[in-house]
Amino acid sequence: MPGGQRFQEGVEVRLPPGGGPPALHRHAPTEVYRIDTGELAIYLEDDEGAVQRIAATPGAVVHIPGGRAHTVRNESDAEALAYVVFAPGTEIERFMRAAGALATDGAPSFADVLALAERHGIEMMTTAPAVS
């Protein structure tokens, strides 16, 4: 990348009640969530490897360092809207586009999603978050 630039990709995320990835995952890019409406539960691995639950409400900004296990869920009864920035964002954007294409024929299998994630540098963990 010329001049050491790091590309960023931002995306609006709408999660219905109960929505969000079912398992923890990790990837190299950093994520920053800004919550616009609703509430998100962000599960994030700390420095010691324990998973903490962060209740993020409108106006909250939550930083998820690259390489940390995490997931984001809407555990409320209302839709949640957030703006998320990934840095660098190129590989995450490729994953999101590929995931969208995979879902055009209906819900993909978990195995297909795992394989797709792996191809894009995302390590999916098969366990749900255990909160400390």
Confidence grade of residue 8 (pLDDT, cut at 50, 70, 90): low
Counting the structural domains of the chain, the total is 1
Residue 33 lies in a domain: yes
Residue 38 lies in a domain: yes
Residue 132 lies in a domain: no
**pTM of the full predicted structure?**
0.80
Residue 47 lies in a domain: yes
More confident residue, 132 or 39: 39
Question: What phi, psi does 81 have (nearest 5°)?
Answer: -130, 130
CATH of the domain at 116: 2.60.120.10
- Report pLDDT digits (tens) over 39-77: 999 999 999 989 999 999 999 999 999 999 999 999 999
Q: Which residues contact 32 (CB under 8 A, 6 or more apart)?
A: 61, 62, 63, 64, 84, 85, 87
Residue 118 lies in a domain: yes
What is the distance between the alpha carbons of residues 131 and 15, in angstroms, rounded to a whole number? 21
SS (H, E, C) 86-109: EECCHHHHHHHHHHHHHHHHCCCC
pLDDT score, position 3: 44
Range of the domain at 73: 2-124
Residue 114 lies in a domain: yes
Residue 130 lies in a domain: no
Residue 129 lies in a domain: no
